[in-house]
Each structure stands twice: as C-alpha cells, then as structure tokens.
Amino acid sequence: MYMFIHYLKSIFLFCLLVGFIICATYIAGTFHPNDYTVKKIEDDIHRKEMKIVEELGLKEPEFDFTDKVSFINATAKCIAYLNWTTDRDKRVPTSIIIAMAGIESAWGRSRFASEGNALFGVRTWDLENTPHMKALGNPDADWGVKKYKTKCQSVKDMIRILNTHPAYDKFRLYRAKQLDAGEWNYSELLSGMTAWSTNKDYQKIILSTIVDNKLP
C-alpha cells in the first residue's frame, strides 16, 4: 500500500512538473516572444497582406508627375505598392529611394527617365537581350542604360539590386541590424552603398536631398 501511494505521488509530481513547463513555455512565448516567434508572426502577417493584394487585384499605380513635389509623391506611391509584395527585411527606406531617384533622373526629367523610364541609370552589358538606351556622348560603348516598361518597374529593379548584388552586402548587414534596433540610420546604410556611384560625395548628396525635401 505504501509503495502504491508513493507511486501515485511520483506520477502526480511528474504531471505537475510537465504542466508547469508547458505553462511557463506558453507564458514566455506569449509575453516574451523569441526571435523565431516574432519572425513567424511577421511572416504570417505578410502572407495575409499578399492574399489581400491578390483578392483586391491591386495594380501598379500610375506614375504621373509635373514637378518635383508630384514626382516625390508618385515615387512614394510606387514604393508603397511594391512594399505590399516585398518582405519586410527586404525593403529599402522610402527616403533613400526617392532621393536617389530624384538625383539620378533630375526628378524624372532626364532623357533616360523620359524615354526609357529609367530613374537610376542602371547599366546593362547584355545588349542583345536587355532593352536599353545608349548615352548620347558614348554611342559605341559596350554597355547601355536599362529601359523599363514603367518607372515603377525601375524602382523595383533598384530594390532587387540592393537585395541581391554582392556589392551591397554591407548595406544588407546594416539594414538587418537597424531593423532589429527599430530605427534607421541613413548615413550607415548609405555607407554600404558606395558601389552605386563613383561620386565620392554621393552619400552627402543623398542625405542633404532627404533633409532639404523633408522626404518621408
């Protein structure tokens, strides 16, 4: 009889311990979620957003502009649209994209932007298979500036390059760190994008453009 009671006590204590572990795990995961839990929640939200986009049949917005202000607004709308289908950890700060588009395309007025929807002057050496335009001063060059069906597609390609090209590994590293911190540091991000321009003052130009135009 004593052994039976001792056996029941052991089972009871074991069940109590298991129950405590389960409760502690639930509480920790609910009120102090780990990185995996947070990432899973964010992924679930993104999948729901993607489903909304598909159900609503949302389309790329028109890129209409007449001046700098309307160019900024048109670019911002394009970025907002692209962000619906871009993972949060793959997005590029809106201010940086708008500033670069403005500087690279003379706020949408350059020949490449007007005739080829190219806002960033992205080059291609695959002249046989990629639509492109040649620089007027260098028509015999073995490269051309990529053409796009729309200006928003040019923005999409710029984001793709920053997310995939080895030259921007540092940018992606800085972005990941800043996303964890919950705050953007434009100077640091731009320091990881030096391959984009040969102008040594490019970072300062983009930063001043962001500040001067109070970009979002």
Q: What is the dihedral of CA 63, 65, 71, 77, to 10 degrees?
A: -40
**pLDDT tens profile 65-109:** 999 999 999 999 999 999 988 999 999 999 999 999 999 999 999
Above 60 in pLDDT, residue 50?
no
Burial class (CB in 10 A: 0-12, 13-18, 19+), 15: exposed
Q: What is the pLDDT of residue 4?
A: 39
CATH among 3.40.640.10, 1.50.10.20, 1.10.530.10, 3.10.580.10 for 61-212: 1.10.530.10
Q: How confident is the model at residue 6, as a pLDDT?
A: 43
Q: Where are the domains of the chain?
A: 61-212
pLDDT tens for 138-172 read 889 999 999 999 999 999 999 999 999 999 999 99
Element (H, E) at 3: helix 2-31
Q: How confident is the model at residue 216 (pLDDT cuts 50, 70, 90)?
A: confident
